[in-house]
Amino acid sequence: MLSTSCYLRTWERFISEGVLDSNRLNKRIMESWHRCKKDQVNPYLNKGKHILTSELLDIQKEKNSFLLELASPQLSRMNQSIKESGMMALLVDPDGYVLSLSGNEKILNEAGKINFVEGVRWTEGEVGTNAIGTALKTGEAVMIQGTEHYSIASHKWSCSAMPILNEDGKILGVLDISCPVEYSHPSMLGMVANLAYTIEQEMGVRSYKKELELIQHSIELAETYPDRFFIICNHKEMIISASKLVRKKVPQSIGMALSDLLNHGYRIVKENLLLSKEDNRISGKCLFLSENHGHKTNRLFPASMPSEVFDFKGESGISESFQNTLQKMKLVAPTEANVCIFGETGVGKELIAMAIHENGSRKNGPFITINCGAIPKDLMESELFGYVDGAFTGAKRQGHKGKFEQANGGTIFLDEIGEIPLAMQVALLRLLQERKIVPIGGTKSISLDIRIITATHRNLEELVNDGSFRQDLYYRLNVYPIHVPSLRERIEDIPYLVNYLCLKNDWHIPLTEELLKRLKDYNWPGNIRELQNVLQRLTILLAEGPLDYIQVLNSMHSLPIARHDDIPSLKEGGKKCIKGNELTIREKIQRDLMLEALQRSRGNVTAAAKFMDIPRSTFYKRLHKYGL
């Protein structure tokens, strides 16, 4: 299907009127157009917008190293024929980022004009209907040509894409072959499908080899430990081999899920990760078991044995300062020691506490958080220790479980412990000694089995010296101190944190070198929390229209990374024109961008409007609106 004037009129009518003749387009393309219109994708977009910096692209490639390793030899094998056909081949990850791009040099140069380059994000949400994005969305092979594309950026291109699926049917990535419409050939889709199928076959071969390795490992273990209970699991926690003792007790164990076997009266006493000889990646694990006589059990780890893999739900980055913090967390997590976390506001102390809890023996128990600085002093006792029915006027009829009782069997995290009043410090010290509480108005004590983790941004030693914090309590809580570095102590982690926050929250901010440099140059008194707030504000502002985000940073007074000293003329111009408190944030930005455009064009309104990429009539309306 070539880009004829007929199809161009179909596209124009749909864009302007929302009308679409179902006989004109393939069903999948029609569905995609409607998705794009619903999501307000810009049909007049003439190039890709979201391009990763080289640093972030390296991170993305590392995340998808297995896909690159599988696909690269196949793409290299086909490269010469793709070049001679006037085409290019792309490998794209599940997030829509182009990981590699090869082929005809002339075609690659043409693709660069629309930012169809390594690191660009080419999803439906970014650039509308296209072979890559639509294949990711539908999980199907697709060929899209000319004005079948939703945005004009791709109207001169013909593209064929095929998802690469792993053995579980999950999309591992997408292969795409593209060329200008005039070089298009019906065999393109067949070529890309054949490539994808070959990669999937290679994946299957590797998976089979890994299972053979695991079985061989099981044979060696059986000879070494003939009287031990053990099993070998693959990466999906399916049992592929088991010792004679396990098979005797559970004959159907081979092929069983690990969780099902544990319900036959076993518990895990030791876990070893197994690496593939071919690529040194984790291929499975060996689990040594013991029997739990008389009852069934779920998966249990002894408190004295650290887990092989430490699960941290944040972004650890690469800085030495935070890697030291992680190492301390790994060491203390499997113990019962009281931990005190020190660090400035916004560094993520609660995330650290949660990681310690989730990697310890109490991970299946509750994790209760309380901010000691946010509770009024007269309510703190009832909040922490609870109360019984009728304890005081206004008390709930059924009483109330305090935070310590709620945390029984798990972990309680006392944030801002430095704010706790002296009277409560005495009660907390008694709790630490006796491991019991008596709710307000009650007579019976409640035994507690909890781990206590505290945190503060204050210097507890200074509080002890000035008499506002008990020394004996300090020593009981500060058994294992962990310092969490500020963001300015881990500047090299900023690109990783930005990428993590954007992916986690689905924020589409162009992460260029210039933006990352601005972020690295700032002092960040609010740390990661402040960084997240800045990124969220940028996302909101950029969603309102095609603003230059660096200009937004320069002119936005409420953004901490603005450098007002660099643009004094903008500030002065703004003061002369209109009172700032009469404008919204959006209007202030528009006004300042207009002033800068006028300065760059030396007062030429036509040129200034071009600088801002808006119609001259719109520029004049805003001149009048802002009294410029």
Radius of gyration of the chain (CA): 31
**CA 571 to chain centroid:** 37
**Using an 8 Å Cβ cutoff, are 114 and 153 in contact?**
yes
Task: For residue 249, count CB atoms less than 10 angstroms from its CB and return exposed for 0-12, middle for 13-18, buried for 19 or more.
Answer: middle
Look at residue 8 and tell me whether its pLDDT is greater than 80. Answer: yes
CB 341 within 8 A of CB 454: yes
- Residue 346 CA to residue 578 CA, distance in Å, equals 36
Residue 90, Ramachandran bin (φ over 0: left; ψ between -120 and 50: alpha; else beta): beta
Segment 357-374 shows an average pLDDT of 91
Instruction: Give the highest mean pLDDT range of 56-65, 74-83, 110-119, 277-286.
Output: 110-119
Query: Is there a contact between 269 and 290 (Cβ–Cβ < 8 Å)?
Result: yes
State the chain's mean pLDDT as an integer. 82
Specify the pLDDT at position 67. Answer: 92
48 vs 37, 116, 184, 513, 595, CA distance in Å?
18, 7, 22, 17, 28
Q: Which of 119-133, 184-198, 383-397, 563-577 has the lowest mean pLDDT?
A: 563-577
pTM greater than 0.85: no
**CA 550, CA 545: separation in Å to the nearest integer?**
14
Closest by CA position to 41, among listed 613, 550, 543, 547? 543
On the question of pLDDT at 306 being above 70, the answer is: no
- Please state, as a whole number, how many other Cβ atoms lie within 10 Å of the Cβ of residue 593: 22
Place of tokens 């290019």: 88
Closest CA to 241 of 223, 219, 208, 271: 219
Please write down the HEC assignment for all residues of 467-488.
CCCCHHHHHHHCCEEEECCCHH
Strand partners, 102: 89
B/e letters for 450-459, b = 16+ CB within 10 Å, e = fewer, are: bbbbbbbbee
Q: Where are the beta strands (DSSP E) in 276-410?
A: 282-291, 339-342, 367-371, 386-387, 400-401
Q: Are the CB atoms for 108 and 44 separated by under 8 Å?
A: no
Distance CA 510, CA 51 (A): 6
Provide the 3-class DSSP secondary structure of residue 278: coil
For residues 495 and 57, give the distance between their C-alpha atoms in angstroms, rounded to a whole number. Answer: 11
**What is the C-alpha to C-alpha distance for residues 6 and 213, in angstroms, rounded to an integer?**
58
DSSP 8-state secondary structure symbol assigned to residue 373: G
The whole-angstrom distance between residue 103's C-alpha and the CA centroid of its chain comes to 32
**How many angstroms separate the CA atoms of 505 and 119, rounded?**
19
Residues 438-462 have a mean pLDDT of 90
Of residues 102, 146, 153, the one with CA closest to residue 123:
153
Distance of CA 7 to CAs 18, 144, 161, Å? 15, 12, 21
SS3 554: helix
Write down the pLDDT at residue 219: 82
Once rounded to an integer, what is the mean pLDDT over residues 389-406? 71
pLDDT at 244: 87
Is the pLDDT confidence value at 566 over 50?
A: no
| pLDDT-wise least confident of 48-57, 285-294, 552-561 | 552-561
- Over 80: is that where the pLDDT of 397 sits? no
pLDDT digits (tens, 9 = 90+) for 481-529: 999 999 999 998 998 899 889 888 888 787 777 788 888 888 898 899 9
Any bridge partners for residue 386, and if so which?
Answer: 401
Q: Which amino acid is at 173?
A: G
CA 32 to CA 129: how far, in whole Å?
Answer: 6
Q: Which residues pair with 191 in a beta bridge?
A: none
Name residue, tokens 């609010």. Answer: 526
Q: Where are the alpha helices (DSSP H) in 316-376?
A: 320-332, 349-358
Task: Count CB neighbours of 291 within 10 A.
Answer: 14
CA distance 576 to 437: 65
Which of the two residues, 293 and 56, has the higher pLDDT score?
Answer: 56
**Max mean pLDDT range (111-115, 224-228, 444-448, 579-583):** 111-115
Residues 112-127 have a mean pLDDT of: 94
Contact indicator for 485, 323 with CB cutoff of 8 Å: no
Q: Which position has the higher pLDDT, 349 or 221? A: 349
* pLDDT at site 551: 54
